[in-house]
Amino acid sequence: MTRNLRPQRVFGWRVTGGLLLLALSLGPVQAGCDDPPARRVNWLRCDKPGADLHGADLREAVLTQVNLANAQVAGARLNNADLGGATLTDADFTGAILTDARLVSAQSERAVFSGANLAGARLERAVLTGANLSGADLSGARLDQADLRGANLTGSKLGKANLAQANLAGAQLQNAELSSAILSRAVLENAVLTGAKLQGANLTGATLIDADFSGANLAGANLAEARLTGARFTDARLDSTIWPDRRRCQPASVGECR
C-alpha cells in the first residue's frame, strides 16, 4: 500500500518524505574562509594573517577567533563586528570604524588603532600591550581588566570609559580625555597623564605609583585609597578632589591637596 506522504514544515520550509531527513541533517552554516570581505561575512576561526582589508566593509561580520596578525585594516568599517578572541597582533586599524564592535579577550599586541573610532566597543580583558591608540575615540568603551601596558593613548577620548582593574603601567596618556572614566583599582604605575582631563574620574584603589599628572585636571575626581607614592601633581587642578585619605581638597587647589 502506498504511504501517504504529507508535506511537513521544518524551520519554515515545507518538505516531503525523504527531503525531511535531508533537511534535518543539515548542520549550522559554516565559516566561509574563502569568501571575500563583505558585510556580515562569517570568518569564524579563519586564518588570514597579513590580509589586505584596507577600507573593507566588514560591518556586523563574524570574526570571532580569526587570525588577522599583521593584517592591513586601515579605514575599514567594522561597526558591530565580533572580533572576540581574535589575534590582531601587529595589525593596522588606523582610522578604522569599530563602533560597538566586540573585541573581548582579543590579542592585539602592538596593533595600531591610531585615529580609530571605538566608541562603545567592548574590549574587556583584551591584550593591547604596546598598542598605538593615539587619537582614538574610546568614549564609553569597556576596557575593564584590559592589558594596556606601554600603550600609546596620547590624545585619546576615553570619557565615561570603563577601565576598572585595567593594567596601564607605563602607558602614555598625555592630553587624554578621561572625564567620568572608571579607573577603580587600575594600575597606572609610571604612566604619563600630563595635561589629561580626569574631571569626575573614579580612581578609587588605583595604583598611581610614580605616575605623572602634571598639568592634569582632576577636579572632582575620586582617589580614595589610591597609592600615590612618587606620583607628581605639578600644576594639576585638584578642585574638590577626594584624596586617598578621603579628605576633600579645597576648591582652587593646584599642585597639592589643601
Residue 222, strand partner residues: 202, 242
CA quadruple 10, 13, 18, 22: dihedral positive or negative?
Answer: negative
Which whole number is the average pLDDT over 209-238?
98
Angstrom distance (rounded) from CA 85 to CA 63: 9
Residue 20 has pLDDT above 60, yes or no: no
Residue 18 has pLDDT above 50, yes or no: no
Q: How confident is the model at residue 2 (pLDDT cuts 50, 70, 90)?
A: very low
Q: Shortest CA distance to 99 belongs to which of 77, 69, 68?
A: 77
pLDDT at 31: 76
Q: Among 14-18, 98-102, 126-130, 134-138, where is mean pLDDT lowest?
A: 14-18
Q: Which residues contact 61 (CB under 8 A, 6 or more apart)?
A: 37, 38, 39, 40, 41, 42, 43, 78, 81, 82
pLDDT tens string 141-174: 999 999 999 999 999 999 999 999 999 999 999 9
Q: Shortest CA distance to 231 belongs to which of 220, 248, 250, 218?
A: 218
| DSSP structural state of residue 237 | B
pLDDT at 16: 42
Residue 104 has pLDDT above 60, yes or no: yes
The domains of the chain are located at 1-30
pLDDT tens string 36-81: 999 999 999 999 999 999 999 999 999 999 999 999 999 999 999 9
| DSSP structural state of residue 243 | P
The predicted model scores a pTM of 0.87
pLDDT at 93: 98
Residue 8 has pLDDT above 90, yes or no: no
Angstrom distance (rounded) from CA 22 to CA 226: 63
Angstrom distance (rounded) from CA 138 to CA 161: 7
Alpha carbon distances (Å) from 87 to 38, 128, 198, 252:
20, 11, 32, 47
Residue 212, strand partner residues: 192, 232
> Residue for cell digits 572614566?
181
Angstrom distance (rounded) from CA 164 to CA 183: 5
Q: What is the DSSP string of 154-212?
A: TT-B-TT-B-TT-B-TT-B-TT-B-TT-B-TT-B-TT-B-TT-B-TT-B-TT-B-TT-B
pLDDT at 72: 98
